[in-house]
Structure 1
Amino acid sequence: MTMNAENTPAPIDAEIHDDTIAKFVLSGRRQVRQLLQEIIDHHALIGGHFGNGGSFLTALLELSDDEDTLTLDASPDAATHRRVLSAPKLVCVTQLDRIRIQFVLRDLEEGHEDGRTVIYAPVPDEILRLQRRDAFRLPVPLSHAATCVIRTKGVAEPTVEVVGRLLDISVGGIALQVPTDIVEFVIGSQLETCQLRLPNLDPIPLQLRVCNISRQEQRSGAQMLRIGLSFADLPRSAENAIQRYIFNTERERNARERGGL
């Protein structure tokens, strides 16, 4: 299934007409359908959330010719698929150009197309489109041993390779912990040759821009740097992989907090 990694954080609990978010709601028929078609065209990953903390990864496959029905990819897990169909609503959360999008689907029905199981749903009347870019940052579990390798000019050598521990991640950037004495990082500089290494994924080549730098003292007394970095010209495939990692990691964390793992 080809999809968008979002970051797909948990849905916003506030009612869509809450005054704080009402200004972000699209309700015009043409606006809603244009945005849904953009999601389809970009193969955006969607976190589908249903009752009692259930969730699965899906994607919008098609908007019908009359623009009244959406086709979604079904969960490959039969039990999850049954729960989705029986749920009163499916809250869909995705990212498009790093802007968070959320909408609710109801009256779900099972369908079959080209030998695959799909879900049909009426087009929603409104969509929440939050303009706050990169608002969700996921703290990376220490057990993941996630890192980013940076090749750049060193303090004492022409070129060095720095391996930074990943502290947090969003679809807009990362925070790393790195030694203080190998590279002199400069705010605003761009690091052209970097490689993000996330568990269960192939290494992701990317470019990073230094946004902020702070010193941190470890329990041992050792000094480390915390570097905030934004992604520069992140390819769509890399964004998809990062969103998938964020979604899966948050889902695992939520399951542990509920006692499910």
Structure 2
Amino acid sequence: MTVESDHNAPAEETLEKRPARIRQLLLRLRDQRPLLTVSFRGRSDQFGSMLLGVDIERGELSFDELTPTDGDRLVRLQQSFQVTGQLDGAEVRFPVQVRRREEQDGFITYIAPIPDSLRYLQRRRAFRVEVPARPECPVVMSNSDGDWFEGVLVDVSISGIGFRVNKQLADGLERGNRCDCHIDFPDATVETRVEIRFNEPVRDKPFNRLGARFLRLEASDRRQIERFVFQLQRRQLKNEL
């Protein structure tokens, strides 16, 4: 999901230290599944990740493997990084001190304690760019067994997509599956390769919400996605005026 803010609007930053409020914000960050930007001290390059879990009882967070994957080397070297994410049009920032690194079935997860504080930057005007319900943008996945799964695009960024699939079909797209992906935008088509990163049922809905990251993205496809996102931004801004 791509989120943008009006950078000319006044901003109010809060250093949140209340444990209950911090837990609430982190749970929302987990549920909304935005792509998180990860940065390391002394380096200008950035990486992507997602908040996979919030364990209130243990006081722990779990983060997905960093992309590009060479970010894992930096985690092992520094054991800490800074996370920035978007939550309902606000920017959330907090430090992560990696407690342990877990690897199972080829998946890498970083476990860290819930932070004592986080910074919450709320702009008075903010907007979220999402893929509109009409016209739908079809998504078709094909796995290594040759099975096809049809879905609908929900959100998109340069790093990956969110989409929904009928519950009866969603079981065939498990986390870690690598698929050929076909996306029909209104004015273009993108064909690429993705890896399924999460697959969860939506309460009281007949579909599951899934997320996938791009494994490779040709320059031409990247331009198509950037153009599509830009068009959505302009449309929403126009509607707000």
TM-score, structure 2 as length reference: 0.49
Q: Which structure dedicates a bigger proportion of its chain to strand?
A: 2
TM-score, structure 1 as length reference: 0.45
Name the larger-Rg structure. 1
